Chains A and B, each alone.
Chain A
Amino acid sequence: MLQTAGLSLEQAPPISIPFKYFFTASLLLIVASLLLVVQGSDLVTSRWSPAALGLTHLITTGFLAQVMTGAMMQLLPVLAGTPVSAVVAVNWIIHITLLAGTGVLVIGFLQSQHLMLILGAGILTTAFIVLFTSTGIALLKSVRQQSRARSLGIGWVSIIPTVMFGGYLVASLSGLIHVDDLQPIITLHLSWGILGWVGIILFATIFELVPMFYVTPTFNKVLKQWLLPVVFLCLVIFTVSNYFLGEYLDNSLLLIALVFFIIGLSVLKNIYNRKRLIIDTTLLYIWTGIASLLIATVVWLSAGSDLLIGGLLLGGVCMTIPIGIIYKVIPFLCWFHLQALQIKKRKLDYSAPSMKYFIKEKHAKYQYFLHLSALCLFFGALLISSELIILVGVLFTCSSLYLFKNILYAYIAYHEEQNILCS
């Protein structure tokens, strides 16, 4: 008898879980945008200002971690056939600790409170340990240890050095340990976090979702299977050489920039060759994200402004692509769960609305234009006048509020339909 214990192709987990993550993500984006309004001028003057550090973590451990965890919980059953065990309880812990950890850490940065920094880092570490263990167990239980899941796996492994170097920085900033030069540790923390954790997971997800959503040819096998592990390997070399072989340090990071440039181009080429010609708003988000990545790598390879690179990566890539993913995933989940409920309830006279009903195309598009205007103005503020930064914050706030409203409307529409089905 074939053992398929734990193998389930159900669309796990319950819909409340992704909604919880996506709601929280949009709320954290609103907070980040408001921070830009209130303390934006500090941000432009130094990338190491408390406001800049707070903003960076609101976007990464806040917005991004919430979206990526929500999406990961959906992708696991599809990719590996094994959902996370005790999915509701585990996600409750991950969600709360991610949110609390980010909140406390950001307050620690903004108020230079050492205790808050230590506490925030501790709570976030707990969140990542639970996340890492639960998804790791699910992957190990998978009948087929997939190469597809490999990149996602190494992306999550990259969180370990990110957290370790982050913890080292917090310990140093809090005076628990003494470090002469923090700069190399900051670079390592930043590199593992943005290029390793975020970069690898985001593009491993794109490699899976782009062919599925836009019916493109599948990505080149070598590119899909090996480029992201190359990024990981380069980060390892970079870390090791930082301690032993300083002169190779820059080269391995430059190689990563080159790899991401190749990945960006191949995603564009892949989308260009798509069979589905319709251009929906989610595609605009993906294009904008990839264009930002390509510009960021060019600025990086030509030794341009760090602030511009950071803005392109955080605002252009990390804030943009996940919104596109949210707009595809939420309507589908609403429709799918209603259909499953209909079958369970045997309500044959019920007909679930199509995906476009839950988030209307025009509302997704309005938010896109707000988001794009904010991005363009942000780069204008960096290149022309830093005084524009408050206006950038206002535009980002409007855009994030619109995102929150769109998710909320989808949630309300889902529950109205669910009530019809259960009545």
Chain B
Amino acid sequence: MENISKPMSQDHRHCDEIFMDLEQAVVRGEWRKTETIAEHFITAMTRHFQVEEQKLFPALEEKTSQADGPVRVMVMEHDQMRHLFNKLSDAIAQQSKETALGITETLLVTMQQHNMKEENILYPLADRFVSNLAEEIAHSFTESA
């Protein structure tokens, strides 16, 4: 049976892979390549956030119905990451290696601890309570891949 954890976690790994290429390009000072990968990375992350914020979280919130709950914290962390994407794009445009690497370091830890909370807590909850969404969610990743 399809579950929600698997495609969501797989997409985390997919975004991680692009992030690694991006950071490595910054280290090497390959700015043209960095710009292309950054665009690809931000698109992939934005798609992931959209699936969560438009499909998964509303359904889950309906079940938990706690305004102050875990979903709110996850959305707040999405906003923090969006803010970092903007700062990263600026640093890349200015070709400032030190600033860009400071941002990638921050972004990496933010992403990883965020993923850990989702994979440990939120997705298993989703598997239990909104499993009817599994097929639709898996489809939304394959569709736009």
Contact = CB atoms under 8 A, between A and B. Distances in A.
A303 to B, nearest CB: 41
A148 interface: yes
B23 A276 contact: yes
A335 B116 contact: no
Interface stretch (A88-96, A350-358, A377-385): A350-358
Interface string B12-53: 000011011001100100000000000000000000000000
Interface in A319-376: 328, 332, 335-336, 339-340, 343, 351, 353-357
B87 A351 contact: yes
B105 interface: yes
Contact of B109 (A1, A4, A144, A328): A328
A177 interface: no
Interface string B101-114: 11101101110110
A351 B122 CA distance: 29
B117 to A, nearest CB: 5
Interface string A274-289: 0111101000000000
B112 A9 contact: no
Interface residues of A, number: 38
A278 B70 contact: no
Contacts of A140: none
Nearest to B68: A8
A81 B121 contact: yes
A212 B73 contact: no
B124 to A, nearest CB: 5
B102 A78 contact: no
A275 B17 contact: yes
B121 A215 contact: no
Contact of B102 (A208, A278, A357): A357
A406 to B, nearest CB: 16
A354 B113 contact: no
Contact of A354 (B19, B73, B103): B103
20 contacts: A2-B129, A4-B125, A9-B74, A81-B120, A143-B121, A212-B109, A212-B113, A215-B19, A215-B20, A215-B108, A276-B23, A276-B108, A277-B27, A332-B109, A335-B106, A339-B80, A343-B76, A351-B83, A351-B87, A356-B106
4 closest A-B pairs by CB? A354-B102, A81-B121, A212-B112, A9-B70
Interface of B: 16-17, 19-20, 23-24, 27, 63-66, 69-70, 73-74, 76, 79-80, 83, 87, 99, 101-103, 105-106, 108-110, 112-113, 116-117, 120-122, 124-125, 129
Interface of A: 1-2, 4, 7-10, 77-81, 143-144, 146, 148, 208, 212-213, 215, 275-278, 280, 328, 332, 335-336, 339-340, 343, 351, 353-357
